[in-house]
Amino acid sequence: MTTARTYGQMCPLARSMDVLGERWTFLIVRELLLGPKRFKDLGDSLPALGPNRLTARLRGLEDAGVVRRTTLPPPAGVAVYELTERGEGLREPLGALGRWGLGLPPSPDIDTKTTRVDLIALSVSSVIAPDRLVGLKEIYEMHVGKETFHVEIADGRMRTRSGPAPVRPDLEITCRVRTFLKVIFGGSRAADAVRSGELQVAVGSEEVVERAFDLLSGTEIDYPVYLGV
């Protein structure tokens, strides 16, 4: 006999969904893939979830060994939730789901004001083929619209994280959301955006700019749907 919280099947996919299949759970993991977050941060990112359900989902993820509570070192010193090594193993499969979702047609139920470029970068960067990253160790800091995030390449992996880079980046750029989406989705080239002034480079050479956006590009979609136009 099975309970309401399990599929009761000795199948790897079914077991994964026993842990992750409840509504909002994937999106909590999505936020933590961007780095450790306070309970309030998670609540602000997922306002429709509500604090009671957020508490329940986090408890379930803790029990499954996906998430743990910890305290950031000084000077922050705040309590946060972060992914465990097992939780970090979800980066590639969730990134693949996100990249697959880039091509889905728009729905009238979706509010385009919820567009976040850090989540688009997360979906793209999580599934970069390792052979494209061989020998690279770089950090790109992105100021896009009101968002700041960074993309780190190390050990053959590319990770998108919230906030500014922890060390001096190899590339630091500023642009509007529209410009960022045009460049990564094939509407224009990074070099052209730099020349036109749409993309400002505070740190980094032309070569690094081209490399960063080449890695983040490659999925041609109708990007205006993300802008509501």
Fold agreement between 12-89 and 104-226: no
Distance between CA atoms of residues 21 and 18, nearest Å = 6
Instruction: Identify the CA nearest to 132 among candidates 216, 23, 19.
Output: 216
Task: Give the residue extent of every domain in the chain.
Answer: 12-89, 104-226
Distance between CA atoms of residues 140 and 150, nearest Å = 5
Q: How confident is the prediction for the chain on average, in pLDDT?
A: 90
**Whole-number pLDDT of residue 212:** 95
**Whole-number pLDDT of residue 228:** 65
Write out the two tokens for 54.
Answer: 């957020």
Model confidence at 219, pLDDT cuts 50, 70, 90, reads: low
Task: For strands 171-175 and 138-144, give the pairing.
Answer: parallel
Assigned fold of 12-89: Arc Repressor Mutant, subunit A (1.10.10)
Tens digit of each residue's pLDDT (9 = 90 or more) over 10-51: 999 999 999 999 999 999 999 999 999 999 999 999 999 999
Tens digit of each residue's pLDDT (9 = 90 or more) over 67-113: 999 998 877 778 999 999 999 999 999 999 998 888 787 777 888 78
Overall CATH class of domain 104-226: alpha beta
Instruction: Identify the CA nearest to 69 among candidates 96, 38, 92.
Output: 38
pTM for the model stands at 0.90
Model confidence at 115, pLDDT cuts 50, 70, 90, reads: confident
| Burial category of 102 from C-beta neighbours within 10 Å (exposed 0-12, middle 13-18, buried 19 and up) | middle
